Structure 1
Amino acid sequence: MAAATASTELSSNIITDNSFVKGLAESSTLQSIPSQFTFANDSRGSHSDSIPIIDFSLLTSPDPDQRAKLLQDLDKACREWGFFVLVNHGIPETLMKSIIDASLEYFELPEEDKERYKAKSPSDPIKSGSGSVITTANHKIHLWRDFVKSYVHPEFHCPDKPQILRDIVYEFSEKYRSLLRKLLQAIGENLGLEEGYIDEALKLDSCFQLYAANFYPPCPQPDQAIGIPAHTDHGLLTFLIHNGVAGLQIQHDGKWFNTNSPQNSILVNTADHLEIFSNGRYKSVKHRAVVNKQATRISVVMANGAAPDAIVGPAGPLVERDGRALYRPMKFIEYVETMLSNTVDGKGNLECLKIQDQ
């Protein structure tokens, strides 16, 4: 997740930490990927019709049986898959299209405009670049994607170009916070927690929100590169939409599955802090972004977490019920920033917080 800027020496297929992949991918001489991108992987995924679909509108259904069934389905999705497709969520389709379009406008900006947001430290509120990861063998691998990320709550930050991006991200993040609170209220109900417990424990009035847009251009050797390696997310729930080009895969029962989300739906995954807070009842699941030869993929992600200064550990009533805590507590923002170590180890931080059996 390291930031990156201005592309150089594209004609010789060299890219540095200060380069954008978009310029490389558009080079007329590019026939194979530079060696720095080599990440041999089997990017094939199975297709599944079993990824749960959650009808958000049923949360307010006057029919108690319908609502009870919805809560049961939500609980099962969080326990067994760690992912679900959210439909009838109330976010206008026009707004979802607008944020995809505005994010694309950002990636189309001249590189000098994007260079301004080269990350100097993990705590920078706006970051843009391409990025690399360090493998467990201590090799640096460049990722086949460009990104822009900004902290949008509790303080709002966003690139100042294009102007339309700021306006849309602000509205988008506001609507997603409302959606988050309602989903977490239902999740709290499923966990048997008192109404308002999650809001107070995680200080959700000041919840952390991160907007991220990813640009994956066509790749001449998709089986030799990766958009984002297998990882889990920080936070409670992550919301993702895309431009209709497939590429996100999730791991379930040791196998990789392609995700297919209907138009105007939101793909939601339970993230690390929900696994911690639920004392392991709900799972933060590995997922990855693979690339293709034919089409540019754009995804827009809204990561949602506790307040930056909230200490997140297993919920007290769940620890009492289970007899012990399975995870150590940690300040939320410290967890987020230490996650940016760029090591490909899937669940590094989460594993470190697990309390081993004595």
Structure 2
Amino acid sequence: MEKLITNRWSNIQYVPENYIFPPESRPGNVKIPFSNSIPVIDLSEACKGDRSNIIKKIIKAAEEFGFFQVINHGISMDQMKETMSIFKEIFHMPDEYKKNLCTNDPSKPCKMFTSSFNYATEKVHLWRDSLRHPCYPLEQWQHLWPENPTTYRECVGDFSNEVKELGSRLMNLISEGLGLKCGYFDNDLTGSMILSVNHYPRCPEPNLALGMSKHSDPNLITILMQDDVSGLQVLKDGKWIALEARPHAFIINVGYQLQIISNDKLKSVEHRVVTNASQGRTTAAFCLAPSDDCTVEPAQSFIDEHNPPMCKPFKYKDFSSHYFNKYGDTDVVLTSFGATKN
């Protein structure tokens, strides 16, 4: 717990050596411009008889960028603000309380940690503290969540239900756009959802450190809520582009499970998080994923003599475990499961 950056950032005047990334992977002093090219999709259009056009936009964005933003998604701004406020508050709870959340016990599904699960063995630490726990099925996990702030369980529980419903709507649109049968993802392929709340304190030398290093997500899709401080960057055609924080929007990105199911049609794109010299940043990533024992493989409709399966079938828990053991290097994990990129 004493390693949490949130507990000591105000006294840090420089980035400690074990947080400094190598020159080839650190952000440096180059300012990355905000990009307007990543689509912003108005989901209300799907309810106005323009469903097919919305589906085309989503599929195109998932193919070209692996990312898009959604607005008019049905979750109120007040609910988003209230939930974000609670997420921010938990990182500033008394030290003794946070100490109880920081644990190496693998049997405890709800835990707070700094940098990553591999803190003890990683070469460079990330400039972030994180709270992570399952949030679906809600009745299975809610009683294990933090008891404080006192409204955490109720507020985050309600919000998780709303996000899960949004995720189901998005997956139905995606499955329709891919030409899969109706309800293709209404099963164990969306049987779990993990919440990862990340807090990136103000960093005195943001050109040297990273909140999250370059990676792709191992799950199906990620639904990201962020505060009004930007920090997410996406790798496009070998260059980094920055996503500006947009009020009342969720950022959606394709995870490797969706890339595998679509047999490499949709792309799980590498991204990273940079830090900020003047402000801290808090985000909440809802990671929609298969159930642990769910078998994942390319959908049969994408396989023929010219398009062999990009990898062999696997249990999602095996993929996930291997992913975190390999420091998030998804390409290494995919190779272990017989993957070949088309």
- Name the TM-score, length of structure 2 as normaliser: 0.90
Question: Which residue number in structure 2 is paired with residue 88 of structure 1?
Answer: 72
Distance change (3 Å), C-alpha of 1:131 and 1:25: same
1:187 matched to 2:174? The reply is yes
1:163 matched to 2:150? The reply is yes
- State how far apart, in whole Å, the 2-side matches of 1:78 and 1:151 are: 25
Distance change (3 Å), C-alpha of 1:203 and 1:215: closer
1:105 matched to 2:84? The reply is no
Superposed counterparts of 1:103-252, under 5 Å: 103-120=87-104, 124-132=108-116, 140-154=123-137, 155-156=140-141, 157-200=144-187, 202-204=188-190, 207-252=191-236
**8 Å contact kept, 1:230–1:346:** no
1:42 matched to 2:27? The reply is yes
- State how far apart, in whole Å, the 1-side matches of 2:32 and 2:314 are: 35
User: Partner amino acid for 1:110?
Assistant: P
- State how far apart, in whole Å, the 1-side matches of 2:328 and 2:185 are: 31
Structure 1, unaligned runs of 5 or more: 8-18
Question: Which residue number in structure 1 is paired with residue 54 of structure 2?
Answer: 70
- State how far apart, in whole Å, the 1-side matches of 2:198 and 2:116 are: 14
1:197 Cα shift?
2.3
**8 Å contact kept, 2:27–2:274:** no
Question: What is the aligned-residue identity percentage?
Answer: 30
Distance change (3 Å), C-alpha of 1:321 and 1:98: farther
Superposed counterparts of 1:292-331, under 5 Å: 292-320=276-304, 323-331=307-315
- State how far apart, in whole Å, the 2-side matches of 1:301 and 1:231 are: 14
What does the per-residue CA deviation read over 1:281-301, in whole Å, with 9 as the maximum and x for residues that have no partner? Answer: 001111111101100111111
Distance change (3 Å), C-alpha of 1:98 and 1:48: same
Aligned partner of 1:61 among 26, 48, 51: 48
**8 Å contact kept, 1:57–1:89:** yes
> 1:60 is paired with a residue of what secondary structure?
helix
- Name the TM-score, length of structure 1 as normaliser: 0.86
- State how far apart, in whole Å, the 2-side matches of 1:180 and 1:356 are: 28
**8 Å contact kept, 1:122–1:340:** no
1:122 Cα shift?
5.5
1:346 Cα shift?
5.6
Deviates more, 1:255-264 or 1:116-125: 116-125
Alpha-carbon RMSD across the aligned residues, in angstroms, is 2.2
- State how far apart, in whole Å, the 1-side matches of 2:118 and 2:145 are: 28
**8 Å contact kept, 1:312–1:330:** yes
Distance change (3 Å), C-alpha of 1:357 and 1:51: closer
Question: Which residue number in structure 1 is paired with residue 13 of structure 2?
Answer: 31
**8 Å contact kept, 2:133–2:145:** yes
Deviates more, 1:120-129 or 1:52-61: 120-129
Distance change (3 Å), C-alpha of 1:101 and 1:342: farther
> 2:63 is paired with a residue of what secondary structure?
helix
Distance change (3 Å), C-alpha of 1:71 and 1:199: same
> 2:41 is paired with a residue of what secondary structure?
strand
- State how far apart, in whole Å, the 1-side matches of 2:208 and 2:133 are: 29
User: Partner amino acid for 1:172?
Assistant: F
- State how far apart, in whole Å, the 2-side matches of 1:292 and 1:56 are: 31
What does the per-residue CA deviation read over 1:283-327, in whole Å, with 9 as the maximum and x for residues that have no partner? Answer: 111111110110011111111011222111111222248542112
**8 Å contact kept, 2:69–2:251:** yes
1:112 Cα shift?
2.2
Distance change (3 Å), C-alpha of 1:112 and 1:140: farther
- State how far apart, in whole Å, the 2-side matches of 1:352 and 1:322 are: 23
Structure 2, unaligned runs of 5 or more: none
What does the per-residue CA deviation read over 1:118-146, in whole Å, with 9 as the maximum and x for residues that have no partner? Answer: 342556411211125879xx862121111
> 1:302 is paired with a residue of what secondary structure?
strand
> 2:148 is paired with a residue of what secondary structure?
coil
